[in-house]
Amino acid sequence: MSNAASPETTRKKSIQKISPIDVYKLLPKTNCGECGEANCMAFATRLVNGELVMRDCPPLHTPEYKKAHEALSLLMAPPVRAVVIGTGDTAITAGGKYVLWRHEFTYHNPTPIAIDVHDMMSKNELRERVAAIGAFSYNYIGRKLELNAVAIRSVSKDPSTFADTVKTVAGATPLPLILCALDPAVMEAGLLAAPDRRPLIYAAMEESWKAMADLALAHNAPLAVFAPGDLALLRSLVRTLLEYGVSDLVLDPGTCADDGLAETLSNFTKIRSLACRQFDELFAFPLLGVPMTAWTGGEISEDVLKWKEATVASMLMSRYADLLIMHSMDGWVLLPQLIWRFNLYTDPRKPVSVEAGVKSFGRPDKKSPVLITTNYALTYFTVESDIKAANLDCYLIVVDTGGLSVESAVAGRYFTAESIAGALKEYAVENLVDHTTLIIPGLSARLSGETEEASGWKILVGPKDSSGIPQFLRERWHMA
């Protein structure tokens, strides 16, 4: 039977239409609490909301509930399949999307970004570029943003040259690999040079699908399907490959960075819309975008090519690309993609937050100032940066406001005199210092009087912007 028509893989409900009752019916109903919830209905609700996953229910994974586990897996399966590339801790997952629009449900599996190398580079050039890919990192509001894979291109079209390059790269990095060669003989040499790495095979085309499919099956590797600008052909190839037995597929409908960009974006949108809205199983696979095609343009200036690549990458990520292959290593090209990816894949229902508690900076003592803020990540890391830049010795109380900023938390009554007083007591701040003076953010000035009454502490209203903290302490803090 064709995989494309198999009822076991067909999902007729979108995530918005699945109710907690649908899930609850398939749970053990033991209310054992092993998931951390009060009962199975609470677990079902959080599972539907994407706040928990099936593995959070241990009993569900026992032999007794095997059939229920299979049924629930089918019910909760995303319209866009997830495909794993690579092995071990560095493996990446592309796809696994439930909805078309982010506001409908959280996007899962952030778009991995691969950087290219090719087999005409010297071994030293390869090692240097691969090392730079692995070392590329940026700390953004407490989160480490990194690149995710290496795409190895066959430029020489020679099997032994390609194999040597793949071997060199595989030995230089644990990152997942994408092997880019349209000749099956070249691809086979590359696969043999990186055994047990489960690289993405790029790519099967109309004239080479069978040879590439045989390689994918023999090496247990995912396979990219390439049909530039022809969705009918792409769909036909997917059907053929599924019937042939290859199920881990990635779709490349072609990326044009010049006059055909509008068509590229339209094709990506059509494919994802058909998968998520009409549950078209032939398009129910991750999408691969190749912004590095910008480098095939005729511009003389490299800066123009880099700008074009960065622009195309951002648009493709916004229009459902589940995996990107890029060329430029410039920070101004890559950082916007990494930050946009982080924001796009952050749960819109849950502001990015940090753990509440008391943070120590420098070498605070009994006479050091005590400041307070909310646990919104951007607020906290901005305050942290300003305190560290000024080399201040102080304590900073972080109050749990559900990830809201100071101004929003005050307006929403999450940052109140009572919550401030409660934090002072909960974290036993009186044991840290021999004074009872607290500095609150300037944006919460209206809470000063109420907080003094609720806490018994003297309240100083600090600056509205944390960059003013050093000067404020010099002028107002007189604890000797």
- Asked whether residue 379 falls in the same domain as residue 232, the answer is no
| 168: in domain | yes
Q: Does the pLDDT value for residue 479 go beyond 60? A: no
- Asked whether residue 279 falls in the same domain as residue 419, the answer is no
Question: pLDDT value at position 1?
Answer: 33
Last residue of one domain, picked from the residues 278, 312, 344: 344
- Asked whether residue 67 falls in the same domain as residue 25, the answer is yes
- Asked whether residue 261 falls in the same domain as residue 135, the answer is yes
Distance (Å, whole) CA 227 – CA 112 = 21
167, 258, 370, 417 from 410: Cα distances, Å: 57, 48, 19, 10
Q: Does the pLDDT value for residue 275 go beyond 50? A: yes
| 351: in domain | no
pTM attached to this predicted model: 0.84
| 352: in domain | no
Question: pLDDT value at position 8?
Answer: 37
Apex CA 71: angle with CA 67 and CA 75, to 5°? 165
| 166: in domain | yes
Distance (Å, whole) CA 138 – CA 381 = 14
> Using one digit for the tens of pLDDT, what is the confidence trace for 234-250?
999 999 999 999 999 99
- Asked whether residue 314 falls in the same domain as residue 236, the answer is yes
- Structural domain containing residue 451: 357-476
> Using one digit for the tens of pLDDT, what is the confidence trace for 303-335?
999 999 999 999 999 999 999 999 999 999 999
What CATH number does the domain containing 425 carry?
A: 3.40.50.11600
Last residue of one domain, picked from the residues 76, 101, 127: 76
- Asked whether residue 52 falls in the same domain as residue 175, the answer is no
- Asked whether residue 195 falls in the same domain as residue 130, the answer is yes
- Asked whether residue 126 falls in the same domain as residue 60, the answer is no
- Asked whether residue 230 falls in the same domain as residue 332, the answer is yes
Confidence of residue 3 (pLDDT cuts 50, 70, 90): very low
Distance (Å, whole) CA 103 – CA 101 = 6
| 195: in domain | yes
Domains held by the chain: number: 3
Q: How confident is the model over 214-230, as a mean pLDDT?
A: 97
Determine the 3-state secondary structure of 473 from DSSP.
Answer: helix
Question: pLDDT value at position 153?
Answer: 98
Confidence of residue 13 (pLDDT cuts 50, 70, 90): low
Q: How confident is the model over 148-162, as a mean pLDDT?
A: 98
Percentage, residues of the chain above pLDDT 70: 96
> Using one digit for the tens of pLDDT, what is the confidence trace for 70-80?
899 888 888 99
Last residue of one domain, picked from the residues 286, 311, 344: 344
What CATH number does the domain containing 44 carry?
A: 1.10.15.40
Q: How confident is the model over 278-292, as a mean pLDDT?
A: 96
**Any bridge partners for residue 146, and if so which?**
137
Kindly state the tokens that stand for 391: 């080399």
130: Cβ contacts below 8 Å, ≥ 6 apart: 117, 150, 169, 172, 173
- Asked whether residue 313 falls in the same domain as residue 213, the answer is yes
Q: Does the pLDDT value for residue 9 go beyond 50? A: no
Question: pLDDT value at position 18?
Answer: 80
464: Cβ contacts below 8 Å, ≥ 6 apart: 441, 442, 443
Higher pLDDT, 203 or 142: 203
- Asked whether residue 328 falls in the same domain as residue 412, the answer is no
DSSP 79-112: SS-EEEES-GGG-EEEE----SSTTTS---S---
Q: How confident is the model over 66-71, as a mean pLDDT?
A: 91
Question: pLDDT value at position 258?
Answer: 87
Q: How confident is the model over 290-312, as a mean pLDDT?
A: 90
Q: How confident is the model over 243-268, as a mean pLDDT?
A: 96
Question: pLDDT value at position 349?
Answer: 73
The region of weakest confidence among 24-38, 104-118, 291-305, 391-405 is: 291-305
| 336: in domain | yes
- Asked whether residue 267 falls in the same domain as residue 391, the answer is no
Q: Does the pLDDT value for residue 19 go beyond 90? A: no
DSSP 408-450: HHHHTTSS-HHHHHHHHHHTTGGGT-SS-EEEEPGGGGGGHHH
> Using one digit for the tens of pLDDT, what is the confidence trace for 361-403?
999 999 999 999 999 999 999 999 999 999 999 999 999 999 9
Q: Does the pLDDT value for residue 2 go beyond 50? A: no
